[in-house]
Amino acid sequence: MRNKEFAVIGLGRFGGSICRALSEEGMEVMAMDLDEDKVNEFSTIASHAVVGDSTDESVLKSIGIRNFDLVIVAIGDNLKASILTTIILKELGVKQIWVKAQNDYHEKILSKIGADRIVHPERDMGRRIAHNIISNNVLDYLELSEEHSIMEIVAGTKIDGKSLIELDVRAKYGVNIVAMKRGKDIIVSPQATERILKGDILIVIGADTDISRFEKNLI
C-alpha cells in the first residue's frame, strides 16, 4: 500500500507546525505558501515546498492537488482566500479537505461549501486550558459533542483504594471509566473489581454535567 500524501496550504504557525509534525512522522507532505521566505524555511522540512497562490486554480492544478489524500488549508486571517481555496479544492475533487476556521461565520461558510473537517485551534486550545485552570485534576479532554466529552482525571484521596464496583460511578454519576493509567501501565476496560489508587489517571466518558459531578464529589 502506498503512503498517504498530504498538502498544507499556508505556512503560518498552525500550518507550519502541522507540516513539521507530519514530516517528523515520516509522511510525504507538500508545503505551499504565497510567501517565498516561508517556503524556503520549509524546503528542507517538507518533501516539496512551492511558492504559489492557492486561490489560483491553475496553480493548484499544475501541482496535481487532486492526487493528494488530504489537503489542509491553514490560511489565517484572509477569510476570502481561505474560502476561495476551499471552493476550488472541492471543485477539483480533492478527497479530504480540512480547513482552519477563524470564527463562527467562517466556519458556517466552510461547512456549507463542503469542507470535510473544520478546526479551531485557538478556540479549542483556549477551552482545554480553561478546563485545566478550573480543575487541576483534569489533565486533558476531548469534546465528543456540545454536551459530551472524554476526560483524563487524576484520582485523589477520596477514592484511593476503592474498587469500581464500590464506587458504582455508572449508576451514581452516569459516567463510564473506560481506562485507567497507572505509571506506564494502562488498564483498558477495567474490571468491576479493579481498585483505583491515588494518582491513577482515569479516562472517563459521559455528559459534561455528570463528569463534573463525579469530579466534584469523588476526586
Closer to ligand ADP by CB, 76 or 156: give it.
76
Closer to ligand ADP by CB, 84 or 138: give it.
84
Q: What is the DSSP string of 22-50?
A: HHHTT-EEEEEES-HHHHHHHTTTSSEEE
Look at residues 102, 94, 129 and name the one whose alpha carbon lies nearest to residue 12: 102
Q: State how far the Cα of 212 lies from the Cα of 149, in Å rounded to an integer.
A: 11
Binding mask 42-61 for ligand ADP (x = CB under 6 A): -----------xxx------
Give yes or no for residue 38 binding ligand ADP (CB under 6 A): yes
Among 39, 75, 155, 202, binds ligand ADP (CB under 6 A): 75
Closer to ligand ADP by CB, 54 or 86: give it.
54
The sheet carrying 201-207 orders its strands as: 138-143, 148-154, 201-207, 176-182, 185-188
Give yes or no for residue 135 binding ligand ADP (CB under 6 A): no
Q: State how far the Cα of 50 lies from the Cα of 85, in Å rounded to an integer.
A: 16
Closer to ligand ADP by CB, 34 or 150: give it.
34
Contact 106, 77 (CB under 8 A): no
Record the cell numbers describing residue 73, joined without a space.
488549508
Give yes or no for residue 81 binding ligand ADP (CB under 6 A): yes
Record the cell numbers describing residue 55, joined without a space.
486561490
Span near ligand ADP by CB under 6 A; candidates 32-40, 64-72, 168-176, 201-209: 32-40
Give yes or no for residue 77 binding ligand ADP (CB under 6 A): yes
Give yes or no for residue 174 binding ligand ADP (CB under 6 A): no
Which residues of this protein are in contact with ligand ADP, per CB under 6 A?
A: 9-15, 32-35, 38, 53-55, 74-78, 81
